[in-house]
Each structure stands twice: as structure tokens, then as C-alpha cells.
Amino acid sequence: MRWFRFAVLILFVTVLQASVLANLNISPDLLLILLVFFCIYCSSTDAIITSFAIGFAADLISSPGLPMPMGPQMISFGLFGTLLAHLRRVISIRKMPYQALVIFSTALLAGGLAYFLAFLKGQTITANIWTVLLGVSIYSAIVGPFLFLPSAWWMHIRINRFARR
């Protein structure tokens, strides 16, 4: 794993998510897309470490309509990143439709757990939480598999998407 490249990528995506995409009503969660990317294409140990690091970056920024306390996203991203890293040993997630399905389900589950943990911590949740969560999951699933190729290029990871079988 190239950790310096990982740190630069996460810093860039975090700033992009917090500045440009924060102005949109519902936008894809780029950090969650990277979570799924690293869980699919890295070793289990690296995937678990990156999951918690990406969750920490997600905790640092919060969407304007849905403020979150510090901690719930790191826990949910770390938990579902760990599960996805171990699930990858059993199920191959190399095709784009499967990747979109994994991004969609991970976004729903990790987002739902993060908001549940925020609710347990005493944070008030807005009434349209499921609408926002479903919209973010759908947009992330549509955009996500197309961002895997530039991420793999930056991280020098071979994904063999266009190789002969």
C-alpha cells in the first residue's frame, strides 16, 4: 500500500466533499466510494486500516443539512469496511454492477448505523433522513464504479477491468 498517495487522495477527496459537493442538496459520498474501492482491491489489513481512516475523514466533515457528532461515521465505516474486506475473500466484486450494488448497500447500512449512533449520542436527526440516505446511496452507486479506474491509477493498483478472461 502506498500510504503517502493514500493520504493525498483522502485529503483531496475530503476537501472536495466538504467544499464543492457540500453545496449540492444530495450528492454522492466520495469517501464511501473510496471505502468500497480499498476494501475490494487491497489486502484485508490495509482495507481495515483505510476504512477507519476514511471514517475519521468523514467525521471531520459533515453535511450542512445533517450535522453529525464526532465518532459515529468512523465506527460505521470501520465496521462495514471490515465486513466488506472479509466478504471479499468469499465473493468476487470485480464487475461494475456488483460494485454499484455493494456501494449502494454499504451506503445504506453504514449511513443508517451512523445516524443511529448519532441518535443514541443525543444528536437530533432531521425528519428527511431516509430520503437523504437513499439519495446519497443511489448517487454513490451510480458514480462509484466509474471512479474506481482513476483511483486505481493514482494508487498504482492493477484492477484488470479490461483484461481478457
Structure confidence at residue 64 as a pLDDT band (50, 70, 90): very low
30: burial class by Cβ within 10 Å (0-12, 13-18, 19+)? buried
Residue 140 has pLDDT above 60, yes or no: yes
Lowest-confidence segment of 13-17, 102-106, 145-149, 158-162 by average pLDDT: 158-162
Type of residue at 135: G
Cell numbers describing residue 71:
465518532
Query: CA 103, 108, 111, 116 torsion: positive or negative?
Result: negative
109-to-20, 115, 133, 153 alpha-carbon distances in Å: 25, 10, 10, 28
Q: What percent of the chain has pLDDT over 70?
A: 91
Domain boundaries, the chain: 3-7+20-155
Structure confidence at residue 27 as a pLDDT band (50, 70, 90): confident
Q: Residues 19, 21, 23, CA angle at the centre, nearest 5°?
A: 80
Q: What is the pTM of this model?
A: 0.90
Average pLDDT estimate for 103-115: 93
What is the tens place of the pLDDT at every residue in 117-139? 888 888 776 667 888 889 999 99
- pLDDT, residue 66, reads 55
Average pLDDT score over the chain: 88
Residue 165 has pLDDT above 60, yes or no: no
Cα(158)–Cα(153) distance, integer angstroms: 8
Question: What is the DSSP track for 115-141?
Answer: HHHHHHTT----TTHHHHHHHHHHHHH
Length of the chain in terms of residues written: 165
CB count in 10 Å sphere of residue 95: 11
What is the tens place of the pLDDT at every residue in 70-80? 888 999 999 99
- pLDDT, residue 125, reads 67
158: burial class by Cβ within 10 Å (0-12, 13-18, 19+)? exposed
Query: For the packed helices 30-41 and 72-87, what is the interaxial angle rounded to 10 degrees?
Result: 30
Structure confidence at residue 115 as a pLDDT band (50, 70, 90): confident
Residue 63 has pLDDT above 60, yes or no: no
CB count in 10 Å sphere of residue 138: 17
